[in-house]
Homo-oligomer: A and B are copies of this chain.
């Protein structure tokens, strides 16, 4: 951490500031330039309160050189984290397909889709039971019954399942769920993140609509600070100024995250684009950008889907896509 002081500050006051900072356990290298003093802070600066420093009348600028996250930081954990599930892995040399309907609608629908995507090569079944909807008047998901149907589909097909949790009190319902999704709107629901840190369930953490890369990693850090490091990060599109797609898929965060963190990174081309005809192009681009997998919506009858029909592939479209993705993954040295 580097602190640039204002020109002409009082030396006694600087000594006091320096002593205060040293009391926090960091070492200070002071450099007297011709116009201003620059302090270099060495040690664990994650304990330092930037806000208070910025309010200090002696200080012109506070610049962090080190990242504020530790457990999620690849510097301290150089090896890729790989999550293991029954018959599936996420991270390392795998490319993992997670597929299924936007929302669980019925036993028949779910099992039909699960069997189809499994046959095509998906390693995970997705499906929403609790749905975050912009309108209180839209279908809100089947709730507990949806969770039951997911567990049944898991038993029927052997596919591990992932579904979204919207509130801490739902946690007990998720015992047989293999991975808990934290949605984009809850990425900074810090109480939820802390609670999930106490859980030992793998977490699929979606990037918020306007979250920076650092904020996403700090959200993961919340979970990891509680002792749970089974986290998969997911880029799902950010808010932009154009509306030809629902969101802007920010694929450049994939290589950036792979450099900064050891956690696996997957991509959601369905929510990012909102348009099923764009999903194949963006899925292939995700492999090419270095992602560890994709999560994609597949529905047996998109025109009658209770939500997000416009962005759902049919099982046939998904099967065609899988054929091409295998070729891309092979070039990248990843196994599907």
Contacts and interface: CB of A to CB of B under 8 A. Distances in A.
Interface in A275-315: 276-278, 281-282, 284-290, 302-310, 312
B256 A278 contact: yes
Nearest to A68: B135
Dominant secondary structure of chain A at its interface with chain B: mixed
Nearest to A209: B210
A55 B2 contact: no
A32 B42 CA distance: 10
Contact of A252 (B40, B194, B276, B278): B278
A166 B191 contact: yes
A74 interface: no
B212 A191 contact: no
B239 A188 contact: no
A292 B35 CA distance: 33
A40 B51 contact: no
Contacts of A327: 331
Given A31-B40, A132-B190, A245-B252, 16 more contacts: A2-B63, A27-B34, A29-B32, A46-B135, A47-B137, A52-B305, A54-B309, A55-B303, A57-B303, A133-B190, A134-B218, A136-B221, A213-B242, A249-B250, A281-B288, A285-B289
Query: Which A-B residue pairs are the 7 nearest by beta carbons?
Result: A55-B309, A210-B210, A284-B288, A31-B31, A54-B310, A185-B188, A285-B285
